[in-house]
Structure 1
């Protein structure tokens, strides 16, 4: 008896196709809905009046000018210039202490030595440039009471400083000022979010993300010293102005269903 092989090519192909279609459809099932969010960015600027300052001054002495070829042998003049500078520095520090500045608020920097070339016109074969050496020392004074700034400046001038590099205004408590600027930025973000939620008629949920977009930092305010009045007999006035502190935040709220 002969056995007949029965094949169903069309049915097998259809069944395989149905399985291939069913698998991706099962993988494409949508998951849970992502929460609705309200994203807000805000910035703030805080103006603070400075309550301290630093004065930067310089003293220097120079050696006599000598021919460039003899400059290496002029060590005695260099020693004498340094002695004069140290003597003037001591007098300046004592004058500041007499003006009421504490010793801890006076900083005398390190000595710096700079050669200076004095060029001359070349009128003959023996013409030679001259050289002198400048020895300088910076002095920094911290002032905790800004009302005493004019009297301290008078003491510096009377002591014969060679240069006053200006006033640098600052804050005694930097952390408190930067924290206040950051709080102001966060309050601004909250106000914006509440306004947007009210306008769109949605309900704010929990805060789910907070980031700083700009760290609240600032630079001390520098100002050159000058008299505000043209009358030379009147006392000079120094305006500290205000220091600006900027901060920025990014806050995300969940929107309740």
Structure 2
């Protein structure tokens, strides 16, 4: 019996699809180029050229017994604030005389907070609580010349600051340093790819993809200190050391046949 044309066409189409299936992986492989993937990380050691010095001044009111209806003595608060402002003004003059520009001196906002202290024991055996108020002013100094640091530390301690919170070392040109770290990582990736290609006897073609695996990380370097550093080490040297900047990249090259 002859096969009708409507039944023959679907059968032929199915045979053509089945015959073409083994060719699909080869066709996809031909469209997907061979590639060499390389990852590289780089570190850049940079000597800081800027520093921020933090210090604090504070004054306290006399301690008084705590009661439910007690309030801060306005006169004592005013006197403590006047003493604090006078010390801050004297400190700024001392720093200017030491060679620091006024624009590099930042006096922070006044901070007022209560302090609770143990008092004397009463006849009943209970211990009363004493309360006083602490008024504080932070001082931040921006140094673009690190040679000034020892002299300014001496000026601060001689001026009687109540706390030296440390030095933060930094870079004036952060963008330039992070760019240099990224370029270093890219050069390392290219050097690795060329070495691998030479060793494996393959030829590199065009770059397919480039991405950052680690954005350049910049962290200022901290140096802690105490207010009595001058007494313990009057001839101390302050060395900034180096700041480490890390960067990472991933680069893919086409392998030419």
Instruction: Find out whether 1:87 has 2:81 as its counterpart.
Output: no
Match in the other structure for 1:34:
32
TM-score, normalization by structure 1: 0.88
From the superposition, tell whether residues 137 and 233 of structure 1 become closer, same or farther in structure 2 (CA, over 3 Å): closer
Instruction: Find out whether 1:74 has 2:73 as its counterpart.
Output: yes
Give the secondary-structure state (helix, strand or coil) at the position aligned to 2:235: coil
Could you say what the CA RMSD is over the residues aligned between the two structures, in angstroms? 2.6
Tell me by how many angstroms 1:12 deviates: 9.2
Deviations 1:47-67 (A, max 9, x none): 111111111000000000011
Q: Tell me the matched-pair count.
A: 248
Mean CA deviation greater in 157-166 or 124-133: 124-133
Tell me by how many angstroms 1:76 deviates: 1.5
Tell me by how many angstroms 1:128 deviates: 2.4
Match in the other structure for 2:48:
50
Tell me by how many angstroms 1:23 deviates: 2.8
Match in the other structure for 1:202:
202
From the superposition, tell whether residues 83 and 24 of structure 1 become closer, same or farther in structure 2 (CA, over 3 Å): farther
Match in the other structure for 1:114:
113
Q: Aligned equivalents of 2:85 and 2:219: distance in 1?
A: 33
Structure of greater Rg: 1
Q: Report if aligned partners of 1:49, 1:243 keep a CA contact under 8 Å in 2.
A: yes
Tell me by how many angstroms 1:196 deviates: 0.5
Q: Report if aligned partners of 1:71, 1:131 keep a CA contact under 8 Å in 2.
A: no
From the superposition, tell whether residues 232 and 64 of structure 1 become closer, same or farther in structure 2 (CA, over 3 Å): closer
Q: Aligned equivalents of 2:131 and 2:245: distance in 1?
A: 48
Tell me by how many angstroms 1:207 deviates: 1.1
Deviations 1:144-197 (A, max 9, x none): 111111111111111110000111111111111111111100010000000000
Give the secondary-structure state (helix, strand or coil) at the position aligned to 1:252: strand
Deviations 1:113-141 (A, max 9, x none): 11001123654347521100101010000
Give the secondary-structure state (helix, strand or coil) at the position aligned to 1:57: strand
Match in the other structure for 2:136:
136
Q: Report if aligned partners of 1:197, 1:204 keep a CA contact under 8 Å in 2.
A: yes
Match in the other structure for 2:57:
59
From the superposition, tell whether residues 88 and 172 of structure 1 become closer, same or farther in structure 2 (CA, over 3 Å): same
Match in the other structure for 1:187:
187
Give the secondary-structure state (helix, strand or coil) at the position aligned to 1:183: helix
Q: Aligned equivalents of 1:88 and 1:121: distance in 2?
A: 32
Instruction: Find out whether 1:243 has 2:243 as its counterpart.
Output: yes
Q: Aligned equivalents of 2:13 and 2:171: distance in 1?
A: 74
Q: Report if aligned partners of 1:53, 1:167 keep a CA contact under 8 Å in 2.
A: yes
Q: Report if aligned partners of 2:122, 2:128 keep a CA contact under 8 Å in 1.
A: no
Q: Aligned equivalents of 1:19 and 1:215: distance in 2?
A: 54
Q: Report if aligned partners of 2:118, 2:127 keep a CA contact under 8 Å in 1.
A: no
Mean CA deviation greater in 13-22 or 154-163: 13-22
Give the secondary-structure state (helix, strand or coil) at the position aligned to 2:128: coil
